[in-house]
Structure 1
Amino acid sequence: MAKLVLVYSLVVLGLALACNAATYTVGDSSGWDISTDLGTWAENNKFVVGDSLSFLYSSSHSLEEVKKEDFDSCNTTNVIRTFTNGNTTVPLTEPGTRYFVCGNQLHCLGGMKLQVNVADNQAKSPIGAPNAQPGVTVTQPSSKRNNPASVVPSSAGSVYEGRDCIVIAFSWFCGYYVLGGQV
């Protein structure tokens, strides 16, 4: 019984920690595209460890993670990682700056590149900042004109924080325990 309680407690703790994460669709409805103002999009969002970036792009683009010097010069010959599937999720697992470019060097030179500053998770909400409510969609306006042929779904990560996560995790734990593991 003690082992079972320990396992459930670890699950609850894991759920509570994971609840702070958010998934951002890069470029919102415009997506990972040359006509998207990716610099402004990144400036309008705050990223922390545990968040994820979702890149949605057409077959004429790719996604490459690069070092700062390659980002600055749009050098696409010395990449860290390359993605080409059109739907790439990149977890932000540690604080620091990450750099992404389109594998087509001309697109990169045209502005299709993204610098993301990832803060430590303790910096999630500055004092006095409003907290996201459960089920709220996180979106930012885009500079790209709406083109129905190239619309990409917007950022729609549910963001749960702090007390809400603990309540959800505790409720799940209690329900599981009371029902004898039948949830």
Structure 2
Amino acid sequence: MAKLVLVYSLVVLGLALTCNAATYMVGDNSGWDISTDLDTWAQSKTFVVGDLLSFQYSSSHSLEEVKKEDFDSCNTTNVARTFTNGNTTVPLTEPGTRYFVCGNQLHCLGGMKLQVNVEDNQANPPIGAPQAQPAGGTLTQPSSKSNNPASVIPTSAGSVYGGRDCIVMAFLGFVATMFWVVRV
């Protein structure tokens, strides 16, 4: 039983440590599209380990993760990963630079590519520090993205969790786990 308590405690602690993650809608309401200024969009963000990138795109596009040299030349023949479903979420799991391009080389050459610099998530704000809040709530999905679900998409500033709420959720999870362990 002590092992079970230890395992569940570690799970709850792990959840608490990931509560400062943010989900970024790439390109905001324009999405992953040739008309979006992706360089400017990315420069206004700070990406850290644990964040998620949400790519929304139509069937005329795809998403490919590539190496730097392929990013620079828009080489779409040597890709690490390819996504084509129109609704792709990419977790940022380690620090470093990630490179994404549209699988249509002409679109890539036209600027449809994204470089994301991922920082280590060591410097979490103190519990009393102000947390980022959604900028105007949520946006409805652009109608030009026909492959996307008709659901609500969070803005890039939204979906940020942290601080006191995260600690409360971790504590409640721990208490629920303890009740469950005692009953078993």
TM-score w.r.t. the length of structure 1 is 0.81
- Distance across 2 between alignment mates of 1:149 and 1:16: 36
Bigger mean CA offset, 5-14 vs 45-54: 5-14
2:144 paired residue number? 150
1:137 pairs, out of 126, 134, 137, with: 134
2:24 maps to 1:24: yes
2:78 maps to 1:78: yes
Offset of residue 148 of structure 1: 5.4
1:120 paired residue number? 120
TM-score w.r.t. the length of structure 2 is 0.81
The one-letter code of the counterpart of 1:169 is: A
2:63 paired residue number? 63
1:36 paired residue number? 36
Q: 1:148 to 1:7 in 2, by over 3 A?
A: closer
SS in 2 for 1:121: coil
- Distance across 2 between alignment mates of 1:32 and 1:148: 11
- Distance across 2 between alignment mates of 1:173 and 1:62: 41
- Distance across 2 between alignment mates of 1:121 and 1:40: 23
Runs of 5+ in structure 2 lacking a partner? none
1:173 paired residue number? 174
- Distance across 2 between alignment mates of 1:45 and 1:125: 17
1:104 paired residue number? 104
Q: 1:138 to 1:119 in 2, by over 3 A?
A: farther
Offset of residue 165 of structure 1: 1.7
2:162 paired residue number? 161
Bigger mean CA offset, 80-89 vs 148-157: 148-157
SS in 1 for 2:143: helix
- Distance across 1 between alignment mates of 2:22 and 2:182: 29
Offset of residue 113 of structure 1: 0.5
- Distance across 2 between alignment mates of 1:138 and 1:122: 25
Offset of residue 52 of structure 1: 1.0
The one-letter code of the counterpart of 1:121 is: N
Runs of 5+ in structure 1 lacking a partner? 140-146
Bigger mean CA offset, 115-124 vs 55-64: 115-124
The one-letter code of the counterpart of 1:137 is: P
Bigger mean CA offset, 159-168 vs 111-120: 159-168
Q: Deviations over 1:8-56 (max 9, x none)?
A: 3112201101212111110111100000110011011110011111111
- Distance across 1 between alignment mates of 2:19 and 2:123: 15
**RMSD between superposed Cα atoms in Å:** 2.8
Bigger mean CA offset, 111-120 vs 7-16: 7-16
Q: 1:148 to 1:51 in 2, by over 3 A?
A: closer
- Distance across 1 between alignment mates of 2:75 and 2:11: 44
